[in-house]
């Protein structure tokens, strides 16, 4: 079977042929290069209108002359249906419909972000990987669960590539900015910039403003570029490790054009090596936008019967990956595995090793070799102090938490009571989720947040539901911060539970009992702000 793939979500006009018989992938691309500034949607669409017919023609000529006979021999046409720039997607959609009718073959509409994941899974041979997609307009973590790719975490404002480009436009550097920041960072010294992660979500708006201000205030550009890379990529690596810990999987694939950055790949590789996990980064031609990945996923979808009619082939600029039913992976293993318990002590979480000694637990935040030493020392000390302080504060409010016996911020070590028989992830019930809602309502009313209330940071036994690991917590009266706590918990339920809806309903009911209705009203706004909504 041979699949013609067409890509054109933003800047790359690309066509490819994937032959399933010998697994060859031939790609022809013509990228858009703006004269100045960033990507201009109208100009990008004009480029797509001119370049796409050219690359398709080249690929079809190759297909006609590379087979056993002088025929085109295309079995289906696959195209990038979204997410992306609407004007560009419409050009691609029109080209795909024209070809599928001219060739009398089926049409397959592909989610561009899932294609980034699937090309990595296809090349690596991994069964159940988490995928970090780091591209210009997007940044998120995906994992296969309940016949869909669930969004485990994502940017709450802008894509990682676009964030870097905003900084380089401030410097009046040509597009794309990522490679220029990478080159400048080789000669710079680390400088402090804001580090913002919330569970497995993250934000780049603050770091971009701070980087621009630092340059305007006279900081060397090379130092700011170093700080920018070290901070942004450490954030992405941290949330990726948290996703591996939450799901229990030990496989990671990287996708997206920013994945071509050597420092990002190095950080992810070091993190996986420390965890004993396997890591795969596709070759650069499959990391940047390309039609090869569209053709590969198109072949799998075609074989699973996921074709569409021309009448139902409208493009979707906001096409979320978790809106796709993944029939080509029916009955395959979920990314979510059974979590370890403290009876298997010591265990390693996303940030720390935890060891049980009789009725005590010794937790030590381990050094992260992938992070810049200064940043690593700062984060481990700050989070150790926050965990000790806020765990005790929650306990005083009546929220079940372990008693803290000792804390050493310099080594990142805490000693506290052993509580619970298992993580909530292993013992999910509606009553326990309702209790979590009640606990969060109490601490929000007292003016602080947990910061990372996932199912792995809650312990349960027949009598109690305990909140643990307040290391990402902080004092705040902002409704937005409180609502993010709710979002993080709901996201962890959605990404791991077999039937999340009753659990989420129970959680929201428990929270509503505390009278924090204004926070719940903000939750919908936060969920609609996700990059793909």
Q: Which residues contact 273 (CB under 8 A, 6 or more apart)?
A: 279
| pTM score of the predicted model | 0.93
Q: According to the annotation, is 350 in a ligand binding site?
A: yes
Would you name the residues annotated as active-site residues? 452
Q: Which residues contact 530 (CB under 8 A, 6 or more apart)?
A: 151, 154, 156, 320
pLDDT at residue number 64 = 73
Q: Residue 201 forms beta bridges with which residues?
A: 198
pLDDT at residue number 69 = 39
Q: According to the annotation, is 388 in a ligand binding site?
A: no
Can you list the domains of the chain with their CATH numbers?
Answer: 2-118+287-322 (3.30.420.40), 125-284 (3.30.420.40), 342-528 (1.10.510.10)
Q: According to the annotation, is 351 in a ligand binding site?
A: yes
Q: According to the annotation, is 165 in a ligand binding site?
A: yes
Q: What residues of the chain score a pLDDT lower than 50?
A: 68-70, 531-533
Backbone angles phi, psi at 26, to 5 degrees: -110, 125
- N residues, the chain: 533
Nearest to 205 by CA among 259, 138, 159: 159
pLDDT at residue number 174 = 86
Backbone angles phi, psi at 274, to 5 degrees: -65, -30
Q: According to the annotation, is 74 in a ligand binding site?
A: no
pLDDT at residue number 41 = 82
Q: According to the annotation, is 312 in a ligand binding site?
A: no
Q: According to the annotation, is 527 in a ligand binding site?
A: no
Q: According to the annotation, is 135 in a ligand binding site?
A: yes
Nearest to 293 by CA among 29, 507, 21, 30: 29
Cα three-residue angle 201-202-204, rounded to 5 degrees: 155
Q: According to the annotation, is 465 in a ligand binding site?
A: no
Q: Which residues contact 417 (CB under 8 A, 6 or more apart)?
A: 359, 360, 361, 402, 403, 405
Q: Coil, helix or strand for 20? A: coil
Q: Which tens digit of pLDDT belongs to each residue from 274-297?
A: 999 999 999 999 999 999 999 999
Q: Which tens digit of pLDDT belongs to each residue from 164-198?
A: 999 999 999 988 899 999 999 999 999 999 999 99
Cα three-residue angle 372-378-383, rounded to 5 degrees: 125
pLDDT at residue number 517 = 82
Q: CA end-to-end span of the chain, whole Å?
A: 35
Packing angle between helix 500-512 and helix 517-528, nearest 10 degrees?
Answer: 140
From the CA atom positions of the chain, what is the Rg in Å? Answer: 24
* Rounded distance between C-alpha atoms, residue 418 and residue 421, angstroms: 9
Nearest to 285 by CA among 174, 142, 119, 137: 119
* Rounded distance between C-alpha atoms, residue 220 and residue 177, angstroms: 17
Q: According to the annotation, is 134 in a ligand binding site?
A: yes
Nearest to 325 by CA among 296, 304, 299, 310: 304
pLDDT at residue number 339 = 56
Q: According to the annotation, is 137 in a ligand binding site?
A: yes
- Helix runs in 151-280, H state only: 160-170, 178-185, 205-216, 221-247, 262-275
């Amino acid at each position: 079977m041979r699949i013609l793939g067409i890509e054109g979500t933003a800047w790359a006009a690309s066509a490819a042929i994937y032959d399933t018989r010998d697994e060859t992938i031939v790609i022809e691309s013509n990228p858009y290069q703006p004269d100045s500034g960033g990507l201009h949607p109208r100009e990008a669409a004009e480029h797509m209108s001119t370049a796409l017919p050219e690359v398709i023609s080249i690929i079809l000529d190759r297909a006609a002359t590379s087979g056993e006979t002088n025929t085109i021999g295309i079995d289906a046409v696959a195209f990038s249906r979204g997410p992306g720039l609407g004007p560009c997607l419409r050009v691609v959609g029109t080209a795909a419909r024209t070809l599928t009718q001219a060739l009398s073959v089926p049409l397959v509409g592909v989610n561009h972000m899932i294609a980034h994941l699937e090309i990595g899974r296809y090349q690596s041979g991994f069964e159940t990987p988490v995928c970090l997609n780091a591209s210009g307009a997007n940044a998120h973590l995906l994992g296969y669960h309940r016949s869909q790719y669930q969004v485990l975490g994502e940017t709450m404002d802008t894509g990682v590539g676009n964030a870097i480009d905003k900084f380089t436009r401030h410097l009046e550097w040509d597009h794309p900015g990522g490679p220029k920041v990478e080159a400048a960072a080789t000669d710079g010294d680390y400088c402090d910039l804001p580090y913002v992660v919330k569970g497995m979500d993250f934000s780049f708006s603050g770091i971009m403003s701070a980087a621009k201000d630092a340059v305007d205030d006279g900081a060397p550009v090379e130092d700011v570029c170093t700080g920018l890379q070290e901070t942004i990529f450490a954030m992405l690596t941290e949330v990726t490790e948290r996703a591996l810990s939450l799901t229990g999987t030990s496989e990671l694939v990287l996708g997206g054009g920013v994945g071509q950055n050597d420092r990002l790949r190095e950080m992810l590789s070091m993190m996986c090596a420390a965890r004993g996990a396997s890591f795969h980064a596709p070759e650069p031609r499959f990391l940047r936008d390309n039609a090869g990945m569209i053709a590969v996923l198109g072949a799998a979808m075609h074989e699973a019967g996921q074709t569409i009619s021309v009448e139902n082939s409208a493009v979707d600029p906001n096409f979320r990956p978790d809106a796709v039913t993944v029939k080509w992976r029916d009955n395959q293993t979920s990314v979510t595995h059974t979590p370890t318990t403290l009876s298997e002590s010591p265990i390693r979480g996303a940030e720390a090793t935890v060891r049980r000694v009789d009725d005590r637990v010794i937790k030590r935040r381990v050094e992260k070799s992938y992070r810049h030493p200064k940043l690593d020392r700062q984060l481990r000390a700050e989070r150790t102090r926050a965990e000790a302080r806020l765990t005790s504060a929650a306990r005083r409010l009546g929220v079940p938490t372990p008693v803290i016996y000792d804390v050493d911020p310099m080594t990142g070590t805490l000693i506290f009571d052993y509580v619970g028989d298992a993580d909530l992830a292993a013992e999910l019930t509606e009553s326990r989720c309702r209790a979590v809602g009640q606990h969060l309502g109490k601490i929000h009313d007292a003016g602080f947040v947990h910061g990372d209330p996932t199912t792995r940071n809650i312990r349960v036994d027949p009598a109690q539901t305990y909140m643990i690991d307040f290391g990402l917590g902080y004092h705040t009266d902002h409704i937005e911060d409180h609502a993010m706590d709710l979002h993080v918990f709901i996201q962890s339920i959605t990404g791991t539970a077999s039937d999340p809806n009753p659990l989420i309903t129970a959680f929201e009911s428990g929270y509503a009992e505390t009278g924090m209705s204004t926070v719940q009203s903000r939750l919908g706004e936060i969920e609609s702000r996700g990059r793909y909504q």
